[in-house]
Structure 1
Amino acid sequence: MRYDDAFANGKYIEGAEAYPPLWAEKAAQFRAALGARARLGLPYGTGERNWFDLFLPKGKPEGLLVFIHGGYWRAFSPRDFSHLAAGSTARGWACAMPAYTLAPNARISAITAEIAASLNVMAAEVAGPIVMTGHSAGGHLAARMVCRDIALHDAVAACLARSVPISPLTDLRPLIETAMNDDFRLTRAEAAAESPALLTRRSGVPVHVWVGGAERPAFLDQARRLGNAWACPVTIDAGRHHFDVIEGLEAPDTPLMMALSGATLTH
């Protein structure tokens, strides 16, 4: 298919096969170390994957950071990325990580609706501001949650402080011409309706796009498309590729964590 290679990540990353087991190992170690401050498998709906994990800081949370996992909407689970809550919990924030029904068992529009439903429930667990982030397909969903067409409870929408999509997919139309669309079943209408770069951002919610400098050109283009469409900053994290760009979430004082806190960076 025309765009298969453009959106292929692993084949262009040295040692790519080592990343998923490393993520899972670090995630399990983080959950074990957190003990009772890791609240696992909280439901937000009736579906098999309608649950989220919530990781709490030592004191009263300053607010809630929501991280949505990637995997082209087809792979992985929040449990593969629990360790990415380390930076936010060290800063005194709670971190929620929702699961969602994977394609082909759900269309992307249905996954978007699930994440919106999860956000309404997760927000009830922690008072204060809400910061959205996510990686790749999760970056798409983090951006979708601050689009004007997403139905959120008024109180939840009022708490949205910012969104920092990481390596997000923002214009889904090229994915129609990939073999992955056998699972997505994207039509042109759905691709347009689910593309943040073609939609209107919710008023008053700042967005800061983050992408690795060593990523595939298609992902750099996708990041810039959202930056241009929403007139928001785009940080190109020099030397980072698609699999290690998320490592900035593991520590409290990285540039990525500063962006999540709303700090102004040089782009």
Structure 2
Amino acid sequence: MNFDDAYANGDYIEGAQTYPPKWEEAAYEWRSVENAVGRARLNLSYGESERERFDLFYPDSGKPKGLMVFVHGGYWLAFDNKSWSHLAAGATACGWAVAMPSYTLAPDARISQITTQIARAIEAAAKAISGPIVLTGHSAGGHLVARMRCSDVALSVADRLQNIVPISPLSDLRPLMQTKMNDDFRLDMVEACAESPLLAKSLRDVPTHVWVGANERPAFLDQARWLADGWEDAKLTIAPARHHFDVIDDLADEGSALISALL
């Protein structure tokens, strides 16, 4: 198997190059409005490094029902939290606050270090918002939120976790050792196993619903199925007519099945 091809998403999505600018534009417009009306707190720090920042969005009225955290993807190599602000719209419309963190990218950080950063980001956001916490993330972000269920990850607010929805997650990192991306990941077998949610030896008791698009690459369908099968209590939804880049769109829709599964 050519693992570089197996995990290449953009090569198999029509108009793939148009998605990042569309994401950025939609995120900027939505974030600007929310900030202007006082429903956003931007660039909050959760650590010392430049990228250890998160944005926090509030519902339009009343005390938040709880906190949703969205962790972005990009193979731990690309993007930051600013491209996804509009995806908070579904949860805020339902009365939840939403935190969106950035994190240090590879090769400046190893994946294990990024996992620790995300735990700190969740803890920092949880100080601002009381109540239950739900976690979701896409692709590499799906991996990172799945890791929060693993007992080896220190997470002081773990008792507040109500639900985890990894979207198109990378659950077993061992195949990525066979890609050119590993020049930046620097995964060895020890870290690949330790950072693979599928291989976790002990799990927190948190409901988990794995979500993946029906039109995704076979490797990502496999990764999602592996996690849902490996975590016996996990649910699996294969979203019809969705590929790796548009599977997250329904986070912006308060009436979507994805938001219902999450909240």
Q: Which residue of structure 1 lines up, in the alignment, with residue 68 of structure 2?
A: 65
> Matches of 1:200 and 1:43 in 2, distance apart?
32
Give SS of 2:5's match.
coil
Q: Which residue of structure 1 lines up, in the alignment, with residue 213 of structure 2?
A: 212
> Matches of 1:29 and 1:181 in 2, distance apart?
35
Deviation at 1:213, TM superposition (A): 0.1
Is the Cα contact below 8 Å between 1:88 and 1:94 reproduced in 2?
yes
Give SS of 1:5's match.
helix
Give SS of 2:248's match.
helix
Kindly provide the CA deviation profile for residues 197-230 of structure 1, in whole angstroms up to 9, marking residues without a partner as x. Answer: 0114533200000000000000000000100110
Q: Which residue of structure 1 lines up, in the alignment, with residue 53 of structure 2?
A: 51
| TM-score, length basis structure 1 | 0.95
Q: 1:44 to 1:90 in 2, by over 3 A?
A: same
Q: Which residue of structure 2 lines up, in the alignment, with residue 112 of structure 1?
A: 115
Deviation at 1:2, TM superposition (A): 3.4
Amino acid at match of 1:128: G
Kindly provide the CA deviation profile for residues 144-198 of structure 1, in whole angstroms up to 9, marking residues without a partner as x. Answer: 0111111111xx1110001000000000000000000001000011000000001
Q: Which residue of structure 2 lines up, in the alignment, with residue 150 of structure 1?
A: 153
Q: Which residue of structure 2 lines up, in the alignment, with residue 173 of structure 1?
A: 174
Tell me whether 1:138 sits opposite 2:104 in the alignment: no
Is the Cα contact below 8 Å between 1:30 and 1:83 reproduced in 2?
yes
Instruction: Show structure 1 runs of 5+ residues with no match.
Output: 262-267
Amino acid at match of 1:238: P
Tell me whether 1:34 sits opposite 2:29 in the alignment: no
> Matches of 2:131 and 2:219 in 1, distance apart?
36
Give SS of 2:6's match.
coil
Q: What is the percent sequence identity of the aligned residues? A: 60
Equivalences, count: 259
Cα RMSD, aligned residues only: 1.0
Tell me whether 1:76 sits opposite 2:79 in the alignment: yes
> Matches of 1:104 and 1:249 in 2, distance apart?
29
Q: Which residue of structure 1 lines up, in the alignment, with residue 89 of structure 2?
A: 86
Tell me whether 1:122 sits opposite 2:92 in the alignment: no
Instruction: Show structure 2 runs of 5+ residues with no match.
Output: none
Q: Which residue of structure 2 lines up, in the alignment, with residue 265 of structure 1?
A: none
Is the Cα contact below 8 Å between 1:201 and 1:230 reproduced in 2?
no
Q: Which residue of structure 2 lines up, in the alignment, with residue 241 of structure 1?
A: 243
Is the Cα contact below 8 Å between 1:65 and 1:93 reproduced in 2?
yes
> Matches of 2:81 and 2:39 in 1, distance apart?
16
Give SS of 2:90's match.
helix
Amino acid at match of 1:196: P
> Matches of 2:106 and 2:205 in 1, distance apart?
32
Amino acid at match of 1:134: G
